[in-house]
Amino acid sequence: MTGRLHGTVALVTGASSGIGEATARSLSEQGATVALLARRRERLTSLAEKIRAAGGTALVVAADITDQPQAAAAVDQVVAELGRLDTLVNNAGFMGLGPVLNAPLQEWERMLEVNVQGLLYVTHAALAHLVRAAQDSTRQVADLVNISSTAGRVARRGTAVYNLTKFGINGFAEALRQEVLAKHVRVSVVEPGAVDTELSSHLRDGVRQSIERQVRGLELLRPEDIADAVTYIVTRDRRVAVNEILVRAADQTW
């Protein structure tokens, strides 16, 4: 398969559904060999089969990125089996919404584990490989894309801890961008608005119904819309760095 990413390797976390799945497909269509990382092996296997049937190359890596040894081993496996790592898309996420008062602490802990610690673990393991890829590839650039959220820009009632994780992702990305730009590793964030994915399935009863009322009447974004933004970022010439893309549903006010 040819394309702008031919000869590169891309790792996508949270690749078993939604934005991660769509992003893996899109990068594969551009010629990248894609490593699919998530916990649900059966879903990853199914996606890999679809990518291969379309003429692409995919590697299944089943792991829990909230466990640091598993996250590091997953990155090591990708580089060992595919030879390099040019693109990392930190997509895995968990959304738990609702008021702070009387909130279940396990929801907060899960958001911090997935949205922050998991992202940090994978980034820590991958960064040196991205630096090497930028040095030895014909494109002379590598990319690290973090999937954030409109909740990383706008704080609203009922989203406090989710805001905490997504504002944190944005701050981390900007500081890291400044550290590695001279090494030709581009660091970007994509901030999706309301997207039709499984993310809201994690919400508690009552909270889920409230969110459903909030988005009622909106034409939700599709995962492919966010995948398009990621693909746009990583297919630019090395002289171009697209550091941030905010993608809202057209009728979304927040």
* 162 given a catalytic annotation: yes
Is-contact 131 144, C-beta < 8 A?
Answer: no
Give the whole-angstrom CA distance, residue 26 versus residue 56: 10
Which strand ranges, in their side-by-side order, compose the sheet holding 58-62? 58-62, 33-38, 9-13, 87-90, 142-147, 185-192, 244-247
Catalytic residue selected from 162, 170, 185, 193: 162
Taking the CB of residue 136, how many other CB atoms lie within 10 A of it?
9
Report, as residue numbers or ranges, the catalytic residues: 162
